[in-house]
Amino acid sequence: MARSAGVSKSTVSRAIDGEPKVRAEVAERIRQAVRELGYVPNQAARSLVTRRNNAVAVVVTEPQNRLFVDPYLDCHLRGIRQELVRRGAQPVLLFIEDPEDCPRVGEFLGGGHVDGALLFSLRTDDPLPSMVERIGLPAVFGGRPADGSGHHHRSHTYVDADNPGGAREAVRHLLGLGRRRIATITGPLNQAAAIDRLDGYRDVLPDAAPALVAEADFTLRGGADAMAALLDRCPDLDAVFVASDLMASGALRTLRKRGRRVPDAVAVIGFDDLPTIAEATDPPLTTVHQDVEEMGRLMARLLFEPRPDAPWTDPGDAALPIVVTATELVVREPA
């Protein structure tokens, strides 16, 4: 390639880099040769010396069947993608559907294929946080990495909504409406978001009966089943705070089936404010809004921020590693 344009490879390299110190005439000659030979620079060789490869991994831990049905991730990924692309990085998605996928993905992340990683939906027992730390790969987490296992690793950079705050606001709103038997449907309690939202509920209702709390799995079906269980256990409940819109829409379905009028008999508040769900339910769902897309953008931005663990950063100018975004109650059903 180099000789084919009658110059040295350094010049080719510079020309492709778009450096200004190349004579226009020479640059043109090179561009021509590139086109003719269909030459594409070998990224492996390049990244071997530059230590960069303009790609960022987005790791999603989720059984695929849930992933492809949950609009939450869709929003999040949209924000991430947008910001990553804006900075010239190619987002590459890696799925972990099974714990046994972890070592392979860890190897990929450690193999220098990517400049950083954005990780999601972590469970308390997830090995990924310690993996990226060992590897020394810059990483930003979506949602507080719940570290229930007692391992102590360096505090990770993450973006999360104010889950306890949002939950408190929701429950207080229900109290303000005069509701007195307020139940809650939680997500899987091995996920931080689920734990934090339940904590918010308990902050306001420290004496709530255990029977008023039902754990589900952030799916529509799970929400519907949990609602049924709650109605069986506490037929007199008059409100329910549901930890996600998807589950809330399942709960609404159950309530309708059981003949409980919403919001007259039972008031429902969701969490997320996903347009495709919250605005489409009947009646439209009152819910705790979080700007999921913006959170995605923030994650990507934080990855490029000066950070102690990034190779392209002067160590010393550390940035604050945690961003908690505000939530806001959106009242849709005038109850």
Enumerate binding residues for DNA (CB under 7 A).
Answer: 1, 6-14, 16-17, 21-23, 26, 41-42, 45-46, 48-50
- For residue 234, the partner it binds in DNA, a copy of itself, none, with Cβ less than 5 to 8 A by kind, is none
Token pair listed for 97: 């559907």
Q: Between the CA of residue 75 and those of 130, 292, 297, 303, what are the distances in Å?
A: 27, 6, 10, 19
Residue 206: CB partners within 8 Å, gap ≥ 6? none
- CA dist 197 and 202 (Å) reads 9
Q: Which is nearer to DNA, 33 or 73 (CB)?
A: 33
Q: Are 304 and 277 in contact (CB under 8 A)?
A: no
Nearest distance in Å: CB 253, a copy of itself: 14
Nearest distance in Å: CB 58, a copy of itself: 9
Unique residue bearing structure tokens 């209702």:
205
DSSP 90-151: EEEEEEE-SGGGHHHHHHHHHTTS-SEEEEES-BTT-SHHHHHHHHT--EEEES----TT--
Token pair listed for 276: 């495709």
Nearest distance in Å: CB 159, DNA: 30
Q: Which is nearer to DNA, 2 or 234 (CB)?
A: 2
Nearest distance in Å: CB 213, a copy of itself: 30
Q: How far is CA 67 from the centre of its chain?
A: 12
- For residue 320, the partner it binds in DNA, a copy of itself, none, with Cβ less than 5 to 8 A by kind, is none
DSSP 22-42: S-HHHHHHHHHHHHHHT----
Cβ neighbour number for residue 25 with a 10 Å cutoff: 8
Q: Which is nearer to a copy of itself, 69 or 211 (CB)?
A: 69
- For residue 22, the partner it binds in a copy of itself, DNA, none, with Cβ less than 5 to 8 A by kind, is DNA
Q: Which is nearer to DNA, 24 or 320 (CB)?
A: 24
Residue 254: CB partners within 8 Å, gap ≥ 6? 223, 224, 225, 227, 228, 231
- For residue 23, the partner it binds in a copy of itself, DNA, none, with Cβ less than 5 to 8 A by kind, is DNA
- For residue 74, the partner it binds in DNA, a copy of itself, none, with Cβ less than 5 to 8 A by kind, is a copy of itself
Q: Which is nearer to a copy of itself, 21 or 35 (CB)?
A: 35
Unique residue bearing structure tokens 């450096």:
19
- For residue 38, the partner it binds in DNA, a copy of itself, none, with Cβ less than 5 to 8 A by kind, is a copy of itself
What is the binding site for a copy of itself (CB under 8 A)? Answer: 38, 40-48, 53, 55, 64-65, 67-71, 73-74, 77-78, 81, 85, 90-95, 97, 101, 104-108, 110-113, 134-136
Nearest distance in Å: CB 212, a copy of itself: 31
Q: Which is nearer to a copy of itself, 43 or 313 (CB)?
A: 43
